[in-house]
Amino acid sequence: MSKLLALNDANNNTTNSSSTPSSPTSSPTLVEGDDPLNVGLKATRPEGPDITPALLSDPIAKRQISHLDHVEHELQKRAYVGVAPVRGDALDTQWVAAMLIGSPAQEFSVVFDTGSSDLWVSSISCLSSTCMGLRRFNPQRSSSFQQDNRQWAVTYADTSRVSGVLGIDDVTVAGIEVQSQTFGLANVNIGSTAAPGVDGILGLGFDSNSEIGDVKTLVSNMIAQNQIDEAKVSVWLNKAADQDKDLSNGGQFIFGGVDNSLFTGDITYLPVTSSKDWQITVDQIFIGRKELSVSSSASNAIVDTGSSFILFPDYLATAFHRAIPNAQFDSKLGWLIPCNLANSRSVGDLTFVLGGVRFSVPISDIVILKSEYNSYCMSAVDSWSELAGHGGQSGILLGDLFIKNQYVVYDYQKRRIGFAEKVQLPAGGIGLNAKGAGAGFKDCLKSSQWSAALMTVLASVFTLA
């Protein structure tokens, strides 16, 4: 953590504060194509067929129409896909989206985190100075809120802690309303989870990974309530470098399917190898043409949207950086690499072979902010020892640094993760899906708040797994 704490001090003014992003909308408008399962969100569900009393009086017609009505009803209630636009920051360390809770709806900005399974937001019972700067849920203002009162607590990998009581209310994400969702009302919120502009976390992991109790995740309830067509969440993250100066198009999470316009070629699926985590097996790792030796334990990789960077076991982080000419290790800052790699192809990409297919991260993405040493920048690939208490970790963490370079599909039903070649779109937005993003971002993305949030996130790697 020393590296990013130092980065926090040295780069407190490195933000996108020159402009205030426009306010997204909480219900994005999508264009429907020929295939509703793979394209987009329907504004409203269609009405069922008009069955007249005359037809119903005919027993044969009644049987036929009843059967057709049942089929159409099933198609109507299942053929639904929701898209949640997300907004990133200037350094691609975090993406947030809008979420609504209660009646009338109270709005929050949350991180979609596949590394955890719990849903929580700060509540009005959280009275710390940090919480007072966040949007907090007020159960007294929701007519649909139900008391649960069970106690809960979650500790994340970066030592951030949240705790409070459980409640039940209706939750809307990506235009999809889930009724009677159990979630956490945080009255204690300490660490990176309390960053300005982050009101809570929406865990997208498996039910088995929940730390707040015997609670179904939001996605599990979407499936159980027939709110999405497929038990999938797919992710397309847009880099800050590929956006306009307002960072108005950070990408999207698709609940219920995939968007074929956002990737090319086939999706390569790998089975999940853990009962709790979105973990897969890595075949090989290369830096340029040089293959890195990967032990069997290190071949396990968790693909986590709630983490910013890529973390390797200590030996693998060392091997990776030794393959980069003039890379240095600093006891305070961790691994440093020459800044000129941001504009060079001399080293080559960091490539992961998954299911026999190569998926790469350009070396330019691994060069982050300049350090206190001339011509040296922070490396976005680091070792687990940077996280207190995780120095002996043997696996790999593939965070947003990896995910933003691919199209990623989390398949809950078949317990697998899919990867495809991401379509690179020009600055200005996703024409198909991103007409806007979740409303309320104007309150949390004011430049001064965003600056503080960004630096807090950097100081903790925002590792929520």
The helix, strand and coil proportions of the chain, stated in percent and rounded to the nearest 5, come to 20, 30, 45
Query: Rounded to whole angstroms, how far apart are CA atoms 228 and 310?
Result: 31
Nearest Cα residue to 200 out of 51, 100, 58, 88: 100
List the helix and strand counts (H, then E) for the chain. Answer: 10, 27
Backbone angles phi, psi at 245, to 5 degrees: -65, -20
Residues marked as catalytic: 113, 304
Cβ neighbours, 10 Å, residue 463: 25
**Burial annotation 72-87 (CB, 10 A radius, 16+ → b, else e):** eeeebeebbbbbbbbb
Joined together, the tokens standing for residue 294 give: 């990967």
- Name residue, tokens 């024409």: 431
**Residues written for the chain:** 465
Nearest Cα residue to 379 out of 334, 444, 429: 334
